[in-house]
């Protein structure tokens, strides 16, 4: 998988262009793979520019469409717990009409933290303090993670990806069952 690129709708859309902006000291984006059927992708690694096109609309299905994934890794020398904004700029979206008209569009951003999902105590491993901190978050006994200042704790602790830090995040992604969580979530094993 990788970093998903999702648009709010694929109906009536036949092309889009954008630029992906990120801190290369914390993220190394190497490619883009289109997953939606028939979409052609041209990604320039050096500039972060991406062009997607299809001879017909991207999809006939209503609703959001994940058009593909950016493949990326965190460099070995990235400072652990550092964060940065991954944002899209220069967005152009075009309809599937004969004239190929521009469609009004809004970009979104994401926060990337150079840390392992579930490592609430920033130890670079999964251990019982991760469980304790996550459980405290789930019961509102703490409202942040000291070692991840100004970052929403859900970015680190919500290992079930349900948009909330709940008790099952402590048991699914911490030292209690780290190996099972890693297998089901495809989170890489710690290497440092």
- The two counts, helices (H) then strands (E), for the chain are 4, 9
Q: For residue 190, what pLDDT band results from cuts at 50, 70 and 90?
A: low
Radius of gyration of the CA atoms of the chain, in A: 19
Under 8 Å between Cβ of 80 and 119? no
Whole-Å CA distances, 177 to 70, 156, 189: 29, 16, 13
CATH 2.60.40.680: which residues of the chain? 3-113
Which residues does 173 contact at the CB level (< 8 Å), separation at least 6? 117, 118, 126, 130, 134, 157, 159, 160, 181, 185, 187
Tell me which CATH code domain 3-113 carries. 2.60.40.680
pLDDT at 182 over 50: no
pLDDT tens-place string over residues 50-99: 999 999 999 889 899 999 999 999 999 999 999 999 999 999 999 998 88
- % of the chain exceeding 70 in pLDDT: 89
Residues 111 and 83 sit within 8 Å (Cβ to Cβ): yes
pLDDT at 47: 93
62-72 tens-digit pLDDT = 899 999 999 99
Q: Are 114 and 82 in contact (CB under 8 A)?
A: yes
Q: What pLDDT is attached to residue 33? A: 94
Q: What's the whole-model pTM score?
A: 0.79
């Amino acid at each position: 998988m990788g970093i998903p690129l999702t648009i709010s709708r694929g109906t009536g859309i036949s092309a889009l262009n954008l630029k992906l902006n990120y801190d290369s000291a914390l993220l190394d984006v190497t490619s883009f793979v289109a997953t939606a059927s028939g979409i052609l992708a041209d990604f320039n690694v050096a500039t972060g520019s991406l062009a997607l096109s299809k001879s017909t609309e991207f999809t006939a299905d209503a609703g959001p469409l994940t058009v593909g994934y950016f493949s990326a890794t965190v460099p070995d020398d990235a400072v652990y717990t550092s964060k940065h904004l991954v944002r899209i700029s220069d967005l152009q979206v075009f309809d599937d009409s004969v004239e190929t008209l521009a469609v009004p569009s809004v970009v979104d951003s994401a926060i990337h933290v150079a840390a392992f999902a579930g490592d609430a105590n920033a130890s670079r491993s999964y251990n019982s303090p991760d469980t304790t901190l996550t459980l405290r978050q789930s019961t509102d006994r703490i409202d942040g993670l000291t070692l991840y200042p100004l970052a929403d704790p859900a970015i680190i602790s919500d290992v079930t990806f349900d948009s909330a830090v709940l008790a099952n995040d402590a048991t699914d992604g911490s030292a209690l069952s780290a190996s099972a969580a890693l297998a089901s979530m495809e989170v890489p094993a710690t290497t440092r």
